[in-house]
Structures are given as C-alpha cells and as structure tokens.
Amino acid sequence: MQRSRPDYKNYIQWLNIPENEDDPISILSRSGGRKVTDHYEVFPYPEPDKNGLYKIHFFAHGLRYLPKSTIERINQLQDQEILYLNHDFQNPYHSRALLLRTNDNYIVGYCPQYIVDDVFKLNDKNQKLVKVQIEKVNPVPAPLELRLLCTLTAKWQDDFRPFSSQEYQPIISDIPADNKQVGHKVSSLLGLNL
C-alpha cells in the first residue's frame, strides 16, 4: 500500500507495526502481501529472538468460513489473551490443520499452513510449550483477513531448523536445463544442496 493512501495509517495500525518501523519488508512480513488474485504468500523466516524463542506473528486464517457468532466473539477478545491450538485431523482440506480456540472453546480461526509443520516440530520438542497469544484485534473496518493478529512463541532448540520440511525445498524440475549452472551458483550462495 502506498503511503499516500488515506487508509495507510489505519493499515499500519492493523498490522501493529510502529510508525518508525513501517518499512516495506516489515509490512510484507506481517501482512503476507496477499491480494485476492495471488497464489502465494510472503512470510518472515523465523530466527531465535534474544531470549532464545521462536517467535512469529500471523493473522488467523479461515475467518470467512466461520459463523457470524465467531466474528462477534473475536471482537470481544483482549490483547495478550491466550489461544489454544487443536489439531483438526479430520479437516478434509488439510489433515494437519490447527484450529485456534479460546478458553471457553470458541473456534476463532486457523493457524496459517506455512507454520503448521514448525508448530508440530516445536510442540514435540518442547512438550507442549508452544504458546499463542492475541497481539491485536482489529475492529471493523479492518478486513476479516486482518482481524485477529496473533503471536506464536516456543523455545528454540539447538537442532531446530524452521521451514525445513519437504514443502520448502527447492523444486529442481523448475530450473530449465540451460539455467542449471545458474541454479547451482544460487544454491551455493544460499547453502542449498541441489
């Protein structure tokens, strides 16, 4: 979004980014940079914070599929309130889907698919010490996809590598034969094994 747009200030507030930190990369990593026509999503690569924690911000997904009463419940949530993760193993679209629920058992969205694999790994290593807190609830006129901003934290183990599942590996078949040399140079720079 251009800074000159009248709703830019609201947008930055919905993302909960301090005004002096609203550079394009911060905005993309928090917002996902999604448009209705996009088939991809941008998200930050987690690194351990100063306390040795995995910490990532995300907006709850799937709100448009939930009943109106859920949206009303979301509007009552408070900053720093704890949300609980539940494995929705019978989900017909994603067998590892993770529901977000309140203490009083309202389902208030889904954890984004791009961190689900990390959450399962972190949960296994940390004996259920993965924590999700509400960072900010954005009231109307914020769009549904920016309604519920959450923060997920967990202890970062020495042997943990984020986004290391098969889903995040390079697709070698996408490199044309005449560009394989370029691909090898890029992979060497990034430390990838092609």
**Total-model pTM:** 0.75
- CA 53, CA 122: separation in Å to the nearest integer? 11
Give the CA angle between residues 107, 112, 118 to the nearest 5°.
115
Reduced to 3 DSSP states, what percent helix, strand and coil does the chain have, rounded to the nearest 5? 35, 20, 45
- CA 23, CA 19: separation in Å to the nearest integer? 9
Q: Does domain 43-163 have CATH number 3.90.1150.10?
A: no
Residue 115 is given by DSSP the state H
- CA 113, CA 93: separation in Å to the nearest integer? 11
Q: How many residues does the chain have?
A: 194
- CA 187, CA 83: separation in Å to the nearest integer? 39
Q: Give the tens place of pLDDT for each residue, 151-191.
A: 999 999 888 999 988 888 776 665 565 554 444 444 443 44
Question: Residue 74: which residues within 8 A CB-CB, separation 6 or more?
Answer: 60, 63, 108, 109, 137, 147, 148
Quick one: what percent of the chain has pLDDT higher than 70? 81
Question: How far is C-alpha 159 from the geometric centre of its chain's CA atoms?
Answer: 22
Q: Which of 43, 25, 23, 26 is nearest to 34 (CA)?
A: 43
Q: Which one has a higher pLDDT value, 3 or 139?
A: 139
- CA 30, CA 18: separation in Å to the nearest integer? 12
Q: Give the tens place of pLDDT for each residue, 119-158.
A: 998 887 666 689 999 999 999 889 898 999 999 999 998 8
